[in-house]
């Protein structure tokens, strides 16, 4: 077993790279949250360029990805072992390939190694479509119910995904050294599974990238948005609390209309633009009651992000003290 394992929760944002790099530098073995790609090793060895590698895949945050792979190439040159371990996504990509080859759903359902992933993806997709359909004209209470149902399906998906990845990681750990494991903040179940298996064998730490910055701003290690809290409740099978879950669902509907999704680059005047934005929006929606969300949802749903933020902020200001960040 290795000497130390660090599960480092991060986000695919440029502002997180410095913190991620610091943890990777002090590690011997780096496990990425990516499905294995045969071109990845060629990129690390500089047999192909980062640009060529990026052309092979669709990356949601290209600026982050380019800079991230620059860091990985540097670490690889310095002797770090770097592997991609994400079996759930690996299976999902295989399912996509089968559909591209003309296979039908009944063909995939017969493949034992793919069936669980296919079924949970199908269920989550169905619940997401139900949400989109309900959001067009249904009463707010019904929309909230579809949010909860999707969160439940998403939780099931995360449990399977984290279980598969935990098992694959445990099978791949080196016999000694320090290990870095990349994970998104929602993957708390992965940390739990790894801790249960490793706690008596090596030191294991749960780390949030930029957690010192988050602590300075909020007093907490991390600030989860309402939708993530709802999903995490379902992942960990928390005792049912309908009122609280309804409120989290309602707040999440407002949150997703306010949060900035496009890449923002750090500036000298704001080195963590996404983090600041997320904290500000979480604080804003956390001041809303269920009735507040119901009223605001209809008012802002077709507004652009900046106008929607002004409407919600002004609403909060009219009720309470100004939000200070």
Task: Give me the DSSP letters along 88-117.
Answer: HHHHHHHHHHHHHTT--HHHHHT-HHHHHH
42 and 187 assigned to the same domain: yes
| Residue reference for tokens 């709802």 | 230
Q: Under 8 Å CB-to-CB from 279, ≥6 apart: which residues? A: 214, 217, 218, 223, 325
For residue 287, tell me if it sits in a domain: yes
Residue 174 contacts residue 271 (beta carbons within 8 Å): no
306 and 182 assigned to the same domain: no
For residue 270, tell me if it sits in a domain: yes
Burial class (CB in 10 A: 0-12, 13-18, 19+), 255: buried
13 and 77 assigned to the same domain: yes
The domain that contains 39 carries what CATH number? 3.40.50.11550
Residue 68's pLDDT is 97
171 and 311 assigned to the same domain: no
11 and 63 assigned to the same domain: yes
CB atoms under 10 Å from CB of 127, counted, come to 18
For residue 72, tell me if it sits in a domain: yes
Q: How far is CA 291 from CA 140, 295, 298, in A?
A: 10, 6, 12
The domain total for the chain is 2
297 and 233 assigned to the same domain: yes
Instruction: For Cα atoms 275, 281, 283, give the angle at the middle one, nearest 5 degrees.
Output: 100
58 and 75 assigned to the same domain: yes
The whole-angstrom separation of Cα 14 and Cα 270 is 12
For residue 78, tell me if it sits in a domain: yes
Residue 51's pLDDT is 94
198 and 312 assigned to the same domain: no
For residue 324, tell me if it sits in a domain: no
Residue 245's pLDDT is 98
Residue where a domain terminates, one of 174, 191, 211: 211
Residue 58's pLDDT is 72
Residue 316's pLDDT is 95
147 and 178 assigned to the same domain: no
The alpha carbon of residue 227 and the mean position of all alpha carbons in its chain are separated, in whole angstroms, by 11
For residue 64, tell me if it sits in a domain: yes
Residue 90's pLDDT is 97
124 and 200 assigned to the same domain: no
111 and 27 assigned to the same domain: no
The alpha carbon of residue 194 and the mean position of all alpha carbons in its chain are separated, in whole angstroms, by 18
pLDDT in tens, the chain (325 residues): 899 999 999 999 999 999 999 999 999 999 999 999 999 999 999 999 999 999 877 778 999 999 999 999 999 999 999 999 999 999 999 999 999 999 999 999 999 999 999 999 999 999 999 999 999 999 999 999 999 999 999 999 999 999 999 999 999 999 999 999 999 999 999 999 999 999 999 999 999 999 999 999 999 999 999 999 999 999 999 999 999 999 999 999 999 999 999 999 999 999 999 999 999 999 999 999 999 999 999 999 999 999 999 999 999 999 865 555 4
State the angle between helix axes of 140-172 and 112-137 in degrees (0 to 180), rounded to the nearest 10: 160
For residue 217, tell me if it sits in a domain: no
For residue 160, tell me if it sits in a domain: no
Residue 270 DSSP symbol: B
Q: Under 8 Å CB-to-CB from 248, ≥6 apart: which residues? A: 226, 227, 229, 230, 233
Residue 59's pLDDT is 79
The whole-angstrom separation of Cα 64 and Cα 21 is 13
9 and 114 assigned to the same domain: no
Q: Return the SS3 of 64.
A: helix
Residue 321's pLDDT is 57
pTM of the model: 0.93
Whole domain around residue 240: which residue ranges? 92-155+222-319
């Amino acid at each position: 077993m290795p000497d130390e394992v660090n599960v480092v929760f991060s986000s695919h944002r440029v502002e997180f790279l410095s913190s991620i790099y610091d943890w990777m530098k002090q590690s011997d073995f780096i496990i990425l949250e990516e499905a294995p790609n045969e071109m990845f090793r060629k990129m690390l060895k500089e047999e192909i360029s980062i640009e060529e590698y990026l052309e092979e895949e669709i990356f949601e945050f290209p600026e982050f990805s380019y800079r991230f792979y620059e860091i990985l190439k540097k670490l690889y040159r310095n002797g770090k072992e770097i592997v991609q371990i994400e079996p759930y996504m690996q299976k999902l990509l295989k399912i996509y390939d089968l559909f591209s080859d003309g296979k039908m759903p009944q063909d995939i359902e017969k493949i034992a190694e793919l069936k669980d992933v296919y079924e949970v993806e199908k269920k989550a997709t169905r619940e997401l479509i139900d949400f989109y359909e309900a959001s067009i004209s249904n009463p707010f209470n019904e929309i909230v119910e579809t949010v909860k149902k999707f969160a439940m399906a998403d939780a099931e998906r995360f449990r399977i995904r984290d279980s598969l990845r935990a098992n694959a990681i445990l099978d791949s750990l080196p016999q000694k050294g320090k290990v870095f494991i990349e994970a998104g903040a929602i993957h708390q179940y992965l940390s739990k599974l790894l801790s249960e298996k490793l706690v008596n064998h090596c030191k294991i730490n749960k780390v949030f990238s930029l957690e010192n910055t988050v602590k300075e701003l909020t007093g907490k290690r991390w600030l989860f948005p309402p939708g993530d809290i709802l999903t995490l409740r379902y992942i960990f099978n928390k005792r049912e609390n309908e009122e609280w879950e309804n409120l989290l669902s309602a707040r999440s509907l407002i949150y997703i209309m306010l949060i900035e999704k496009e890449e923002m680059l750090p500036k000298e005047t704001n080195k963590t633009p996404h983090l600041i934005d997320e904290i500000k929006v979480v604080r804003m929606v956390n001041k809303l009651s269920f009735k507040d969300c119901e009223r605001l949802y209809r008012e802002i749903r077709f507004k652009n992000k900046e106008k929607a933020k002004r409407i919600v902020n002004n609403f909060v200001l009219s009720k309470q003290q100004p939000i200070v960040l």
